[in-house]
Structure 1
């Protein structure tokens, strides 16, 4: 099964490729897209270009990775064909779970588009390797992302400090599609 190209009701999802650099850099360098983690903002095209390499490797290694999300039709003031975000499920090197991630442009917020991508990503992960749990790592103060993950089905398996975050008060939430054994939870927590 080739999931490099998929659709939802309103999104066309295509595997991230190097030609997506300009759109991804516009998103990942936008301070508005990083309001809950300002330190994550990309300040150089080189950082974005290096980051695009990971999804390309994920698709090759596992048959699943991040998509570039574009509108199939007009949504509010956003025209058909517009790039609105990125996300999906991918297995980081050396791990045994799917990491669910997503980021959308601020003009696309509030339309339910991230929910469509999250549902498609979780369905794809179950189709490719159902034995791997899907896990998200969210910041507690990002209530919109937390609600989005909760609506998709994963339940909270960990709440604790966010190691490596420049904000020492940051709290990391880890929802997962199913309970995690102690070893797996410890591995997820080490990378969260």
Structure 2
């Protein structure tokens, strides 16, 4: 199954398992105050923090065969414009696949988050149907809420996510 998720091509994007060389791109994206506006911990503060985050994601791939992707545009390979996809997580005591997406501001408004999320949902439905997919979204993150609803997800309930009341979306 690993190979099914490892490298996915959509109409405009290449979604690929993260790799060691992504550390600077992780820091650039997660260290940006604009892209981290809804992050509980705020912007990432160091390359070391990026390395630790990337190590978690690499661990997901090695232990589970699924994890967040590095996202590149097909017409500009080798340049990460975002990170996202699915990773196993426990929410309210239940094993789920958490759907997440974060893109560089230059990619905002392009529909890339919807394209990534649609591919992730289709793969999960086909290859991991027994594991529920959820999206945990900060209540003020209107762009992410629009992506989830565009994909046919619905608000299930409000949960406490790292001390923040957050919206939990599930496929309809």
Normalised TM-score (structure 2): 0.89
What's 1:120 paired with?
Answer: 119
CA deviations on 1:72-125 (whole Å, 9 max, x unpaired) are: 12xxxxxx2231100011103785210111110011000101111111111222
Partners of 1:125 and 1:50 lie apart in 2 by 26
Runs of 4 or more off by more than 6 Å in structure 1? none
Matched, 1:105 2:104: yes
Partners of 2:50 and 2:84 lie apart in 1 by 14
Greater share of strand: 2
SS in 2 for 1:40: coil
What's 1:44 paired with?
Answer: 46
1:172 to 133, 141, 166: 166
Matched, 1:6 2:8: yes
Q: Count the aligned residue pairs.
A: 167
SS in 1 for 2:89: coil
What's 1:85 paired with?
Answer: 82
Ranges in structure 1 where 5+ consecutive residues have no aligned partner: 74-79, 166-170, 179-192
SS in 2 for 1:9: coil
Matched ranges for 1:20-59 at <5 A: 20-37=22-39, 39-59=41-61
CA deviations on 1:105-162 (whole Å, 9 max, x unpaired) are: 0110001011111111112222331111101110111111001011112211112555
What's 1:16 paired with?
Answer: 18
SS in 2 for 1:47: helix
Ranges in structure 2 where 5+ consecutive residues have no aligned partner: none
**Cα displacement (A) at 1:163:** 4.7
* Contact 2:14–2:74 (Cα < 8 Å) also in 1: yes
* Contact 1:64–1:124 (Cα < 8 Å) also in 2: no
* Contact 1:87–1:117 (Cα < 8 Å) also in 2: yes
